[in-house]
Structure 1
Amino acid sequence: MRALVVGAGIGGLAAAGALAQNGWETTVLEQAPAPRTTGYMIDFFGPGFAAAESLGAIAHLQRHGEMYSRARYVDQTGRTRAKFAMESFLNAAHGKFFSILRPDIETGLREWVGDSVGIVQGARVVSVDPGRCPGTDGPGVPARAVVADGRDFEADLLIGADGIHSTVRGAMPAIPGTRVLRHLGLHVFGYVFYDPELAANLGREVVLSDSLVRQATLYALSDGRVTFFGVVECHDPDPAPDTREELFTKFRGLGSDVDRALDQRPAEIFEDVVAQAVVPAWSAGRCVLLGDAAFAVSLLAGQGASLAIAGAKVLADALGSGNDIPAALAGYEASWRPLVEQQQEAGRRNARFFVPSGRRALLLRRWSLHLMNLAPVNAVIARRVFGASVVGKGHPGP
């Protein structure tokens, strides 16, 4: 059986590798000319950790991971307003927790898949035909994808893992275009820069701004680099370039370390709206959606990468060797959608936890963070903020 995966991101690579383990001949089409290097720091835990263990990929991810001792919220003068030990998250996740840059997850997954799948870089998909499985409507028709340079790919199964702005999703029947996106009123920026002095000052602490309507976060990496992640209130789902620059300047004044990070912004950065994908059906014909294309939970939900990897395993397990594709795709959605919807609800709560809009919400966040340091209540707070899947043992499969 042949599978075609559109998108060499986290979900796409995980699905390709999992299908290859089941004996599928798998090709991944990626529009970027080379592996991406821009991104932001992710805390990796939950069902994706369990899935990566089962797939044999976890060691490749942990090799690129970081561990931090605590998180500290500071005001513009550097005064600590709240802090909590990262041990709280380790306890809530049963020790299965680490931090990792988003592009490093993709690097680890590429190391894991090795030569078992073919990855075609610089292949921008311009049209998709979801094909048809054999049945009462007639014989089966392969799924097809055509890329910008005219190359045509056919497969028994096409997986759209091309992100929240998915081209594949837009080509599927009965999906109402951009109306599937639920905008959460925020915009994000992320990048990495080299500053050994700042990295040494930060140490193993995650430093976050204790601020209204925007938040800046700094992580030091082990090699002298620092990663900046900024979230700012923005109610325009597609801001113009000038507006985006104006949004970026709102991080000024959150502290000397943040200003120092802003001064070192590289030419290429990650930036996007904070939104969720609410898709009425994840499959049509021989085509199925995965990861953010199907169920983006938002960048602030804390589980996007985890759900992409776990969802890829659920899909691959349902497909097996590919004997009954329609039943497999229906089973994948039926088993995975409830957990995704729970996590999306947690992500909507999370948005205002990260970016409080008023003084009362800011004080409530400080109080919640103080409680995270108390062993009897940290799991309860983790459930409330990140969803029940965080503190459980992870989703074992379909």
Structure 2
Amino acid sequence: MCGAGIAGLTVAGQLASKGWEVTLLEAAPERRTQGYMIDFFGPGYDAAEKIGILDRLRELHYPISEARFVRPNGRSQSVDYGIVAANEGGKLLSLMRQDLEQTLFEILPDSVDVRFGSAVVSVEDRTDYVTAVLADGSRISGDIVVAADGIHSAVRHNLFGDSAAFDRQLGMHTCAYTFDSPRLHGKLGDALVSTDEVDRMVGLYGLRDGSVALFAAHRVSDTVLPADPREAIREAYEGMGDDIAEAIDKCPEPEHLYYDQVAQVELPVWSRGRVVFAGDACQAVSLLAGQGASLAIAGGVLLVEKITSGVELSAAFAEYEEEWMPVVVEKQAAGRRAASGFLPRTPLQLWVRRVSLALLRSPFFGKFVTSAITGTKPSK
């Protein structure tokens, strides 16, 4: 296994629970603590129940009372979060991404050999085994390699070449971090508060440990990641009011900061020989689609079901791709459609979003607005 993110942990845990010997390789030196709030719904919700973590996720869920959008003039528009959850049939949890990862770590069988600081740089596929070559020159061989090493997958680059050929850049950068501010924590309460203007947004919410979490996104003309992400954040979100200024002033050092491109991965085939891809390495939908974590768990569970079904590996990988790729393609398209609502580019798009949010209160239109936001079919 390459990658100890949500997809990698899911696959590693499920394979080990079915008797497989699993080595989980993670390039980072330790578990990542950076992350942001996610709305966990869709196919991953049912998959979480299947693998026995749903009750734990409910314990970790943040009961968001409202999403409040604050305009530059101070006026605000609020959305009852209960309406959004109800329109999803009640199957929606607000979670910190790192809490979801921690839950998957908690159920990881002791037999899994987890190795941090172990970056896979290439794979050597043979007829009856495959070898992962690590950055330190060491080698590990096994029956398969599951590449769940994220949107910037080194394994994908090794097997298929230039990663840019498979990236669909959506013209945005995003960042997330946590910081201490008793004033803001008290002011936020249990609401998720976001700015409401064109081309950039900052969302703030209070966490149960007393800290404040920030999640932000802004449009960029050049999607290349900056050499100094902290400076890029300061420039992007300057002049957005005193609360945002305080949050930006408390931006941590880069090692405690999440900063990345907003992009999708469109990989035409998800396996080659004894190597198969999972999670963002092959199916990144971007934060605009809102279901990356959900799809990572559901897709990981499906992959394990295929691998352990008794058919040949090539057939198992083909079935996984045939069944799951159309789901991912649909969610990616929904994410691109949602771009103007997530981060409006023009005053007209901003107005349309405001009207759409107002319609959430409507018993009839609300389900269709929720469907447009989440990319799911309206619940009955």
Q: What is the alpha-carbon distance in structure 2 between the residues aligned to residue 112 and residue 242 of structure 1?
A: 37
- 2:140 is the alignment partner of 1:144: no
Question: How big is the shift at 1:241?
Answer: 2.0
Secondary structure of 1:113's counterpart equals coil
Q: What is the alpha-carbon distance in structure 2 between the residues aligned to residue 368 and residue 115 of structure 1?
A: 48
Aligned pairs for 1:115-194 within 5 A = 115-129=110-124, 131-132=125-126, 140-173=127-160, 177-194=163-180
Q: What is the alpha-carbon distance in structure 2 between the residues aligned to residue 220 and residue 231 of structure 1?
A: 19
**Unaligned stretches of 5+ in structure 2?**
none
The answer on whether the counterparts of 1:72 and 1:207 sit within 8 Å (CA) in structure 2 is yes
The answer on whether the counterparts of 2:16 and 2:109 sit within 8 Å (CA) in structure 1 is no
Q: Which amino acid aligns with 2:266?
A: V
The answer on whether the counterparts of 1:252 and 1:259 sit within 8 Å (CA) in structure 2 is yes
Aligned match of 1:95 in 75, 87, 90? 90
Residues 216-247 of structure 1: CA deviation (Å, up to 9, x unaligned): 10111112111101100013121432587245
> Counterpart in 2 of 1:22?
18
Q: Which amino acid aligns with 2:201?
A: Q
> Counterpart in 2 of 1:137?
none
Question: How big is the shift at 1:116?
Answer: 4.1
> Counterpart in 2 of 1:69?
65
Secondary structure of 1:52's counterpart equals helix
Q: Which amino acid aligns with 2:141?
A: E
Aligned match of 1:388 in 372, 376, 379? 376
> Counterpart in 2 of 1:79?
75
TM-score w.r.t. length of structure 2: 0.95
The aligned length equals 378
Root-mean-square deviation over aligned CA pairs: 1.8
The answer on whether the counterparts of 2:225 and 2:260 sit within 8 Å (CA) in structure 1 is no
The answer on whether the counterparts of 1:78 and 1:255 sit within 8 Å (CA) in structure 2 is no
> Counterpart in 2 of 1:208?
194
Higher mean C-alpha displacement, 370-379 vs 24-33: 370-379
Residues 48-83 of structure 1: CA deviation (Å, up to 9, x unaligned): 111011011223333332120110100134321x22
> Counterpart in 2 of 1:263?
249
- 2:358 is the alignment partner of 1:370: yes
The answer on whether the counterparts of 1:31 and 1:122 sit within 8 Å (CA) in structure 2 is yes
Q: What is the alpha-carbon distance in structure 1 between the residues aligned to residue 88 and residue 19 of structure 2?
A: 32
Residues 332-391 of structure 1: CA deviation (Å, up to 9, x unaligned): 0000011101100011122221111111000000000011122222221122222126x5
Secondary structure of 2:326's counterpart equals helix
**Unaligned stretches of 5+ in structure 1?**
133-139, 394-398
Q: What is the alpha-carbon distance in structure 2 between the residues aligned to residue 351 and residue 365 of structure 1?
A: 11
Q: Which amino acid aligns with 1:115?
A: D
Q: Identity rate of aligned residues, in percent?
A: 42
